[in-house]
Amino acid sequence: MLVMGFIASDTRRRLAHLKGRLARKGPPTIHYFHQVDDPYSHLAAQKIDALADRYKVKFEFHLAGSPTDHEQGDATRFPGWALRDARTVASDYGTELPQTVDQIDRHQAGHAESYLSQHLTDPGFASEAIVIGHRLWSGDLIEELPPSNAAADGSALRRKLGHWLSATFYFEGEWYWGVDRLLHLENRLCDMGLSNNPGGICVPRPTPESLDGKDAGAVTLEFFPSLRSPYTAISFDRVIALAQRTGVKLKLRPVMPMMMRGVPAPRVKQLYIMTDTKREADYYGQKFGPMVDPLGEPAKRAFALLPLMIEKGLSIDYCANYLRAAWCEGVDITTDQGLQQVVENTGANWLEAQQQFGNNAWEPLLEDNVSAMLSAGLWGVPSFRVTGGDIEKPFCCWGQDRLWRVESEISRRSV
């Protein structure tokens, strides 16, 4: 637990920044990793020239391949989810992603890599990547060129520096994935005095569509959290506040933690999640740490109490209190004493709660929730599904950094 706490600490972040700064040779340099058939890379490339103009930094460009099946978590769902998600947020970030092609042919991807490999040292790389990306996602054929090893070389460097995804920016000890995290990179550059225009940043997080004067009573928000999810821990209260503020019908659907469902999480991925969660928590003014990880039997014991909490109308408060205790207050929820504290803070009776540990009623409940989440093309948490209103098709998304999009969807379905 001490290791996890250090990974997510301000001290670790400062040390990483210091190490990166001491290793600097020449001007401050941002390494960007681009994957030609990755929709997030296509969005990210569209922001590079603006960043290069705004900040006193140098860019080094790298091509990279896709993550391994093990790194993707769910290789059968990852590509489809990434494309849907990127198309969902593209316009909100002032970017474009053609709708013509849903899966780029691997030979065309190879041709695109060969072409872009000739421009990696060109300051105009981003413009070339955008043009090639538009052609790929529009179905325009790319002419064949001699094969290149640039993507393999870039993937090796990315792995050495400590990441597995593309559309990623690495700057002096810290990673930033996609357009969503550019605000953190920009704020850091501003703090370092590297901005040519200190009046703002290029890529802020989008503002949700206003719900003023609308009635969201016919809209349902299904919320899929996990008790062992750092991202859930820093967003649970915000989700509940969103539901209360908009008046949607909230359906809480807790699920078993991913690693307890057999979804792999390599160490490099776990490290990034912890550091990124801390960064996002700071951005939203959310406390994160000290923490006690409830992986395994502690999580099962916590879920065993869920049917009782649902029966008493306390499920939301129970999950909120558990997440707060485990991830923000350092309460040892792996012990009876710690779990008792959560139960009593929720307003339930501990003696009655203890009688639930031999009851397996929670298992089919969570299995049903997981099935619903998987059927929506999602596998991670927190995830969301919005239904109702005048729009027939459900809207599904994954990630605490998509709450703004969830709120916009609620607004679009309200009257």
Give the tens place of pLDDT for each residue, 109-167. Answer: 999 999 999 999 999 999 999 999 999 999 999 999 999 999 999 999 999 999 999 99
> 132-151 burial, b if ≥16 CB within 10 A, otherwise e?
bbbbbbeeeebeeeeebebb
Checking if the pLDDT of 258 tops 90, the result is no
Q: What is the pLDDT of residue 273?
A: 94
What are 387's strand-pairing partners? 220
Checking if the pLDDT of 185 tops 90, the result is yes
- Is there a contact between 405 and 85 (Cβ–Cβ < 8 Å)? no
DSSP element (H, E) containing 60: strand 58-63
Class assignment of domain 219-257+295-413? alpha beta
Choice between 317 and 1, residue whose per-residue pLDDT is larger: 317
Q: What is the pLDDT of residue 69?
A: 87
Q: Is 297 exposed, middle or buried (0-12, 13-18, 19+ CB in 10 A)?
A: exposed
Convert the pLDDT of each residue in 351-397 to its tens digit: 999 999 988 999 999 999 999 999 999 999 999 999 999 899 999 99
pLDDT > 70 in the chain, percent: 100
Q: At what angle do helices 39-54 and 125-138 cross, to 10 degrees?
A: 160
Mean pLDDT for the stretch of residues 277-288: 96
Comparing C-alpha atoms, which of 114, 115, 110 is closest to residue 128? 115
Sequence-distant (≥ 6) Cβ neighbours of residue 144 within 8 angstroms? 107, 111, 114
Checking if the pLDDT of 1 tops 60, the result is no
Convert the pLDDT of each residue in 212-228 to its tens digit: 999 999 999 999 999 99
- Is there a contact between 388 and 219 (Cβ–Cβ < 8 Å)? yes
- pTM, full prediction: 0.96
What are 186's strand-pairing partners? none
pLDDT > 90 in the chain, percent: 90
Convert the pLDDT of each residue in 298-353 to its tens digit: 999 999 999 999 999 999 999 999 999 999 999 999 999 999 999 999 999 999 99
Distance (Å) of CA 297 to CA 228, 256, 258: 12, 11, 14
Number of helical H runs and strand E runs in the chain: 19, 8
Q: What is the pLDDT of residue 261?
A: 83
Please provide the average confidence, as pLDDT, over all residues in the chain.
95
Class assignment of domain 2-191? alpha beta
CATH 3.40.30.10 boundaries in the chain: 2-191, 219-257+295-413
Comparing C-alpha atoms, which of 166, 181, 171, 180 is closest to residue 34? 166
Convert the pLDDT of each residue in 53-94 to its tens digit: 999 999 999 999 999 988 888 889 999 999 999 999 999 999
